[in-house]
Amino acid sequence: MQTRASIFIAAPVHEVFAFVADLTNQPRWQTGVISATVVGGGPIGVGSRVRVASSYQGRSGEAELEVTEFTPDDRIGFRTSTPVRSRGSYAVRADGAGTRVSVSGSAQLEGIASLAGGIAEKMVEREMMHSLERLKAILERRESGGA
């Protein structure tokens, strides 16, 4: 399963990246994320692990993200191995007077879940767009003196 979404945010690249790359901010903008805690503390970079608790369609669970790529003001990549083997990334790029944030992900669905791949992709992309809209609202409010 492959998914991607992007949105324009009227805020500078460095502010957008700082917020998105602080994975403990995920509960503030990502649909279904309840908590995100850096394992062992310290700044986030390649090799960091983040324990994420989430709830989706009445099911809750935990996953541990491992940061696999970290380029300041550009991109952060991560992977999980449980409960689903997946990879994802957040990329930020200057776009006129603001920033374009792109989210991409892939997951290896197994068993009966693999039969619903196309439906699952559409659902995940819809959730990604909803999350990006929340991110935009938070960062643009911050830019104008809110949040």
* pLDDT band, very low/low/confident/very high, at 109 (cuts 50, 70, 90): low
Quote the mean pLDDT of the chain: 86
pTM attached to this predicted model: 0.83
Q: How far, rounded to the nearest angstrom, does the alpha carbon of residue 96 sit from its chain's CA centroid?
A: 23
Give 143 or 82, the one with higher predicted confidence. Answer: 82
pLDDT at residue number 146: 46
SS3 per-residue string spanning 71-133: ECCCEEEEEECCCCEEEEEEEEEEECCEEEEEEEEEEECCHHHHHHHHHHHHHHHHHHHHHHH
Render pLDDT for 4-35 as a digit per residue (tens, 0 to 9): 899 999 999 999 999 999 999 999 999 889 99
Give 22 or 86, the one with higher predicted confidence. Answer: 22
User: Do 36 and 51 touch, CB atoms closer than 8 A?
Assistant: yes
pLDDT at residue number 59: 79
* pLDDT band, very low/low/confident/very high, at 118 (cuts 50, 70, 90): low
User: Any idea what the CATH number is for the domain that residue 63 is in?
Assistant: 3.30.530.20
Q: How many domains does the chain have?
A: 1
Instruction: Name the residue range of residue 55's domain.
Output: 2-143
User: Do 98 and 142 touch, CB atoms closer than 8 A?
Assistant: no
* pLDDT band, very low/low/confident/very high, at 94 (cuts 50, 70, 90): very high
